[in-house]
Structure 1
Amino acid sequence: MAVSVFELFKIGIGPSSSHTVGPMRAARQFALSLAEHGMLARVSGLHAELYGSLAATGRGHGSDKAVILGLEGEDPVTVDPDRVDERLDAVRASGRLRLAGEHEVAFHHRRQLVMNKRRSLPAHPNGMCFTAVDGDGAVLAERTFYSVGGGFVVEPDESGNARVVADTTPQAYPFRTAAELLGHCQETGLPVSAVMRANERAWRDDDGIGVGLRRIRDVMAACVANGCARDGELPGGMHVRRRAPGLHERLREREDRGDPLDVMDWVSLYAIAVNEENASGGRVVTAPTNGAAGIIPAVLHYYTGFRDGDDAGVER
């Protein structure tokens, strides 16, 4: 199956690719589909149900918040993390949300967003169902989604199985395993990065690839900077203080010892900064999950900050 680098590295928000990014994308798809089929103005009521793992840990992972934002038409790529709490407080206080950002409907965040902690849908632990009804209570639309990891969302097929539609776009160097990828490198003399760029050209030209990769780099860099600057406690009620700002200050004050292992202190700091931003619901890049979101930004931040890495190097 062909997979673009921009599918593997998705811009979104924390704290979870499967429990936050996926539910927001699913809810948004449902809301936009109502608009696309001319049903939006007829919607009088909504009902959302989360099942299994999504329900069991959903509130801690912000799944309920993600669903509400998605129903209002927000995209994980563009939603403003700094306004999430304000937006949600407004929905809870008013008991209303703007479906697809256009049509206002009554919505109670507890009664109409149900967490089925003891029930799972058959195809995957991360299941969710959305229903829209008209003023008479008649069902206008009903859809089921599964958040299968990495921010990917699929719908069930006719048999109820999670339906993954393979991308059959022809690529210059198709591969299914790491051994096949390395085989292409040995046959062509190209590094892995050049093989992957050649495959990426199946979807976009070099300029588009460069712009997209640099945008991802910029989001990663901002995430590191925010994590190093924001002090205080992480959300969740366990009173866990952010470590990155204090570590950053101590590293800046420390004299250069010339120790080659100093690099690990900086890279570790940057990874912690991203992980704390992710835990707080900040803007991160799923790479390829939110749980691993700190690794590539940490390496890139050291590369650009201490090794004068240029755009070409970042893209590689």
Structure 2
Amino acid sequence: MECISVFDMLKIGIGPSSSHTLGPWRAAERFIKEVKDLQLFDQVSHVKVDLFGSLSLTGKGHATDYAVMLGLSGADPEYIPVDAIDSSIQTIKENKQLNFGHDKIIDFDPEVDIVFNRNFLPYHANGLKFTATLDDRIYESTFYSVGGGFVTKENEDSLVSEMSCEFPYLFNTSDELLAFCKQENKSISGIMYENEKSIRTPEEIDYELMRVWNTMLECMYIGCHTEGTLPGGLNVKRRAYDMHLNLKGDLLYETPWEWLQTIRKTKVYFRQILKWVSCFALAVNEVNASLGRVVTAPTNGSSGVIPAVLMYYLVIENHKAGEKEIKQFLITAGVIGSIFKKGATISAAMGGCQAEIGVSSAMAAAALCELMGGTPAQVTMAAEIAMEHHLGLTCDPIGGLVQIPCIERNTMGAIKAINAAELALDTDPLNAKVPLDKVVNTMWETAKDMNNKYKETSEGGLAVAVNIADC
């Protein structure tokens, strides 16, 4: 059984895409480590990168070329100053060189050395191959970005957590997870917390969970306070700024946490609640679309759902909630995401948008349900309801950009998650007809049946119905 940590499902990185940006970035880092481990690093004089399949078809719109260059330069997506990205890329383009591994200057012309190949490699839709020129030979290494920032190498048997671990409670399915909850008389988050303690100290877990949340909060804050037009050529106007301006009124604040406190003082009529949740989701994904720093939840393209639903709980449902509830929410969400990762996919290039927005909505629904007093069985039911009503959702980004329809889909996923949690809380799990494991299997079968043009290739759906020229 695979050990997938909560922090594997909730990664901090740069937008706009976990599979097309963060994944290739991490693959470039792994390539550098590989040549160093093989004691080939000092011999490298040149590197070429071939992008295949979906990485090629929508790579420009998802900044895959930027990610590869930054990864090969040794930059860390968790900590690189966002404002430094454009200048770093411009320097590489102008000089036709990069600082390989942040250790040696090598020749690198992005126009020549990053090749977009439309053909697909056999293992996964998101393939990339690094070719290094050494003193006396060529060295090649192929990787796959399999969704959510996860990366695997060609011929690896399976994808496992980057941390070696032996969880005390190993599960691949929700049935196995629920059995542990019953056996130990623990919540879903309680079981997963014990797993996390096998690889981190409680202090490390708490610190990292709050780092994830603070990144989410900052992302919402930035998105709600930034106006203008998103990059990429579609001329999409940011909407979170104006929506937030109308919702907040005259309330004053200076920090993201003070901002959260002031929102608690606003009206909570149904219409305002819908607008606030939508505003939070829009804000995150507008930041994501601008190469901002977000949390994959479980992907960058679906990164707005979980923050929006958690923020809803904090500012609407429970004004007394704080760090304890935030950590519980994130742990529960991560557990549910891992079940989809193990049993199906979180890659839109493999499963369409059901694998991103659908999974994120299920994660958020489950987490909200647990915070609102749901039993473990009701929590998995909430996840099932949310995913059930995203089955078959296609991925058809216009211009290969995570803007239309991706940003609005996060608002829909968040609203569905809240509704799913409420439905589960009012339902006896014994009366449920569709268990979570069945919907996970169904999602995977639907993914396999789905035409490739609806799997993040921009070759079907809205991506061909609407042209960039029309925008």
Q: 1:299 to 1:258 in 2, by over 3 A?
A: closer
Q: 1:304: Cα distance to partner?
A: 4.0
Letter in 2 for 1:190: K
Which deviates more, 201-210 or 19-28?
201-210
- Contact 1:154/1:163 (CA < 8 Å) preserved in 2? no
Q: Which residue of 2 aligns with 1:42?
A: 43
Q: Which residue of 2 aligns with 1:310?
A: 322
Matched, 1:177 2:173: yes
Q: Distance in 1 between matches of 2:8 and 2:128?
A: 22
Query: 287, 290, 299: which is aligned to 1:280?
Result: 290
- Contact 1:45/1:135 (CA < 8 Å) preserved in 2? no
Letter in 1 for 2:140: E
* Larger helix share, 1 or 2: 2
Matched, 1:121 2:121: yes
Q: 1:32: Cα distance to partner?
A: 3.0
Q: 1:39: Cα distance to partner?
A: 2.7
1:230-275: per-residue Cα shift (whole Å, max 9, x none)? 1111111011011010000000129955524533321221111001
Q: Which residue of 1 aligns with 2:144?
A: 146
Q: Which residue of 1 aligns with 2:216?
A: 220
Q: 1:6: Cα distance to partner?
A: 0.6
Q: 1:30: Cα distance to partner?
A: 1.1
Matched, 1:3 2:4: yes
1:72-121: per-residue Cα shift (whole Å, max 9, x none)? 0122222222211111011001111000011101111011111112x221
Task: Look up the SS of the partner of 2:301 in the other structure.
Answer: helix
1:175-224: per-residue Cα shift (whole Å, max 9, x none)? 22122222322333211111111111121121111011011011111111
Task: Look up the SS of the partner of 2:102 in the other structure.
Answer: coil
Q: 1:256 to 1:225 in 2, by over 3 A?
A: closer
Q: Distance in 2 between matches of 1:261 and 1:171?
A: 44
Identity of aligned residues (%): 40
Q: 1:165: Cα distance to partner?
A: 4.3
Higher relative contact order (CA 8 A, sep 6+): 1
Letter in 2 for 1:53: S
Matched, 1:87 2:68: no
1:273-306: per-residue Cα shift (whole Å, max 9, x none)? 0011111111000011112211111123344445
Q: 1:42: Cα distance to partner?
A: 2.2
Q: Distance in 2 between matches of 1:186 and 1:262?
A: 39
Q: Distance in 1 between matches of 2:72 and 2:135?
A: 19
Task: Look up the SS of the partner of 1:24 in the other structure.
Answer: helix
Letter in 2 for 1:38: Q
Q: 1:287 to 1:256 in 2, by over 3 A?
A: closer
User: What is the TM-score of this pair, normalised by structure 2?
Assistant: 0.63
Q: 1:163 to 1:257 in 2, by over 3 A?
A: same
Task: Look up the SS of the partner of 1:290 in the other structure.
Answer: coil
- Contact 1:31/1:72 (CA < 8 Å) preserved in 2? no
* Larger strand share, 1 or 2: 1
Matched, 1:252 2:264: no
Q: Distance in 1 between matches of 2:322 and 2:147?
A: 32
Matched, 1:206 2:216: no
Q: Distance in 1 between matches of 2:135 and 2:148?
A: 37
Number of aligned residues = 309
Alignment of 1:11-22 (within 5 A): 11-22=12-23
User: What is the TM-score of this pair, normalised by structure 1?
Assistant: 0.92
Gaps of 5+ in 1: none
